[in-house]
Structure 1
Amino acid sequence: MKNIKLRIVYLILGSALLLSALFVLAVNVIIPSHFVNEAKKALLNEAEYQNRAIPYTYDEPDYDENWEEGYFFTPSIVFLELEDGYRHNTWNRDTYRLEKKLLEYCAGRDITLGQCYTLKTDRHHLIFMSVQEEQDDWEKPYAYIMYIDIGPITHYIVTLNWAFFAVLLAISSVMCLLGFLFGRDIEKEAERQQTFFQNASHELKTPLMAIQGYAEGIQAGVMDTGSAAEVILKESDRMTELVDELLDISKIDMGRQPLTLSEMDVRELLYDSIRAVEPAAAGGIAIVPDFPEEPVMVSCDDTRLRRAVTNILSNGVRYARSELRLTCRADRRQVTIRIQDNGDGIAEADLPHIFDRFYMGKSGKSGIGLALTREIIHMHKGTIRAYNGDTGAVFEITLPRGR
């Protein structure tokens, strides 16, 4: 899973370009064409109404219902009377500049009556029609031009374009940044998962090779059956423990490991953990408990929390010289469990990674026990940290106080 972050960025940019193209097509082609058609319909409807010789009033009870409904641009129709054909009239220069341009445009062309035409200038977009009415009592036909200026709408569309592109640019920039960060996190998670499975395979392969080697020695008759069986059992237990830890942390990652919480005295849990590691400490490591006399109640999943504490104790027994001290203190808000050995401590380079999965530190050993411990403590809404004390390594667990 490489270059996921770039793929996400390209996808966002491609979507933004496609959206821009659709917007440009809609706003600059489809919508203006629609307004042009609506303007033409309004002019044709007005011309049809004018040629019926119906009084131009709203007071008539039987006026045409089509005129009442009209079209979108019907109220915007402007009438330009033609007194002397399409030649310039003597109007105010500033007031009638647009209509003079319209007359100049018509004077040089063969304008068909009753047909719509289009005239564009820098600021205007005219849809117009030349109309001529003849009545028996008129000396000459009455000629005029009806036009609608949709220029303000087209200019608004241009402004809308710039506003849209500005907003789209801002949104695309933010989305690209978020997509890049999200893709980077996905890549890191994929790399972490790949490293996790590689390390898990390596950890499982080590006891399997030992089991296979001793089994082959027994089969070939070159190895003592009793000692070989002891090693096989030891490595089998090691592999079983590792498989259980892998399954547990996998379930935690997938959210399928809910806690079964209950109120209990954490001192009992700590004593149980001490009894679990006493066989490993039989070689001269003294485990010294230091607990208060009154009960220390916490709300926890005793099975998982006991496993977390046992993992730390087992780790302490491995590195302690002669003593492993386990203390428990409580205040009104939280309970603090501290496990300290009198060994050489943790290398400064290893401290930031001590809870990473399969991290191999200065000792050359790797595993998943401390990583599982951290996940269990976090599930209890607690914290865990490791540091070097005066006489060795210290692991400190903080849990919310129970009732």
Structure 2
Amino acid sequence: MKSLFIKAGLASCLALGLPLFQDHALAASSSNVQSKCSSLGILKKGINPSYQHMNCLLTQTAIEAGIPPEIMKAVATQENNSWRQFDKKGKPVISSDKGIGVMQITNQKRYDTEKLKYDIPYNLKAGADLLNDMYSRSDLPSILPKDKDVLETWYFAVMAYNGTKPINSPLYQSTGKVNTNAYQEKVWTHLNSESFLEDTTIRKPAFSVKDFKYDPKNKANIIFLKKTYTLSSLLHQTRYGLKKNDKVIASWDNSNLNEVRIRKSPSTGSSFKWMKKGSQLTITGPYSFDRSLNSSNPFVWYPVSVPGQKGTWYIASSYITKMLSKPTVSPVNSKSRQISGKAVKNSVITVKKGSSRLGTIKTNSTGSFTMNIPLQKAGTVLQVTYKDSKNATSPAAAVKVTAK
């Protein structure tokens, strides 16, 4: 349930001169979202839609707003665990501090109060716009690279959705321990456990008490002393940007898992087969919401073609990652003292011979690279990979050294 800190977040937004969305634009956008989800049902005043209908509304609202749906849904779960706009009597859900509906928007002049109460897409869009406002705040630290598709970069925006008060400090100032009761920490728990089924970990920076300044005895906002953070671990992009013909791999962070289920229909109740981690798949169409409308699965299902298997299979969005392409490498002979090629721009190239690393170099703004190497014997196989800005490593391009 929304606490009083949403008020502080909105007040900060207004004080900073952030742009306020126009009501007619919000209403038009809400209508568009509703239309895209109409196959899952028709919204009726005072009646909550099915779980998967709400899943669609949250997903489409987030995509239209440029927010990862995983973030939008985790915030909605923290605000309103059951994603319900109305109570059993058909009245709008309103918290003790007057937070309204699924996104628990506190009544402000920038919103139409009656629409916030009775128009679900309007309520969701108001929450999405508020999240975007928080992401744009210049007084909050940035997590690099500041790419809205990267889930990790939303940490401080999620905090600010509830308020940058001492209660939401990432660490307890007195002990340096993680503040698991902070709003954004609770949202991160939902993100990891629900959208990613606890098999993929959306990371957070390694904070220090020196990063923040605040007086725990009053309600003044936290002063952020450190303005940028860089994570060395693998960053995670939203899974909702995948398109038909995209190559993906079955991938997750949990090293204890070696297999995952692929299913014959978009539902956890359908028949399945086991597939090994690292298997390559091809997306064959748009994602689907769970076939069981009352299923509490917040993720979506992608149709995929599976090598060696007939027909279309479905895999949960939690378990796939878009596959990086291999770097392109020019031929190398026994007289070559350089290796060159192309990869993703500003990525880090690594060249190996077996387990030995021959060197690394960064590609330029066009993706080209040229690196000096020792002379290699004919028949030697070199492995060339790159690491992109999200710390993801590409498949290796193998280059066999020819005689000259």
TM-score bucket (shorter structure): under 0.3
If each structure's helix is expressed as a fraction of its own residues, which one has the higher value?
1
Alignment TM-score, normalising by the size of structure 1: 0.21
**Higher Cα radius of gyration:** 1
